[in-house]
Amino acid sequence: MASPAPRAPLPSCTLEIKAVPNAPRSAVVGWLGDALKVKIHAPALEGRANEEMCELLAGELRLPRRAVTLVRGDKSRQKLVRVTGLDRAEVQRRLHL
């Protein structure tokens, strides 16, 4: 019996994020050069803003939460996130900003 063909890897990309915690509401604001500006309602305490940011991005991109992960910038406003399942062009299309 032949083994199944290996799956092609899912597309993915990384996004630079400029995060603004403690905002009145969470929202994806727009592109600032190569970085995506994201306002987060949660405070920057105990990773709550990072978690809310990943949930917001996953929802906006219509992806499961596990598809958006923080790569760098845990305690910084400048962050890097990995989006699994979409390339950068599709991310930009879905955000339509």
pLDDT > 80? residue 2: no
pLDDT digits (tens, 9 = 90+) for 83-92: 999 999 999 9
pLDDT digits (tens, 9 = 90+) for 52-63: 999 999 999 999
pTM above 0.75, yes or no: yes
The topology under which CATH files domain 12-95 is: Conserved Hypothetical Protein Mth637; Chain: A; (3.30.1200)
* CA–CA separation, 47 and 31 (whole Å): 23
Contact 65/52 with Cβ under 8 angstroms? no
pLDDT > 90? residue 11: yes
